[in-house]
Homo-oligomer: A and B are copies of this chain.
């Protein structure tokens, strides 16, 4: 995957920014847009829909990933690039990894997101912390039954890995 940006990249990133502007103005959610493309073909577009759909996971990148996967009928977007109007938050970044997207191009930074009131930067500091030092109380309660479920998965002959 290229580490350089070409004119096609610039056009798709510009489209992501247009989505961020237009859907913000339409009142759908925060000022964020995303486009996913592969081999010169746009697979999906997304914009932030948190407040209009009551879904805190409906960030532009996640919306675009869900739509792109639905479009190609696959849980993998291997070989695709995601264009995001803003640096992905840790939720979106992780969803990009799970989707096997191969390249990320973004415009605004996480620091700019923080400056207009979004917690991306805070989340980037929370995720790597040891559990006991995070803002959300988190309790580890080991379970023999949960152990057994994992062992059953390992032994499962017909599992679909992802």
Q: How far is the CA of A152 from the CA of B20 in the complex (A)?
A: 11
Q: Which secondary structure dominates chain A's binding surface?
A: mixed
Q: How many A residues, CB 8 Å from partner?
A: 93
Q: Top 4 closest A-B pairs, CB basis? A: A91-B94, A107-B146, A107-B143, A128-B128
Contact yes or no, A56 B30, CB < 8 A: no
Q: How far is the CA of A86 from the CA of B153 in the complex (A)?
A: 13
A97-B119, A150-B108 known; A137 and B1 CB under 8 Å? yes
Contact yes or no, A146 B89, CB < 8 A: no
A residues 24-60 in Cβ contact with B at 8 Å? 24-25, 27, 29-31, 50-51, 54-57, 59
From A25, A27, A102, A116, name the one whose CB has the most chain B CB atoms within 10 angstroms.
Answer: A116
A14-B145, A85-B149, A152-B31 known; A75 and B104 CB under 8 Å? no
Q: How far is the CA of A62 from the CA of B55 in the complex (A)?
A: 10
A residues 113-162 in Cβ contact with B at 8 Å? 113, 115-117, 119, 123-124, 126-128, 135-143, 145-150, 152-154, 156, 158, 160-162
Q: How far is the CA of A160 from the CA of B56 in the complex (A)?
A: 13
Q: Which residues of B contact A1 (CB under 8 A)?
A: 137
Q: How far is the CA of A155 from the CA of B62 in the complex (A)?
A: 26
Which of B18, B127, B141 is within 8 Å of A124, CB to CB? B127
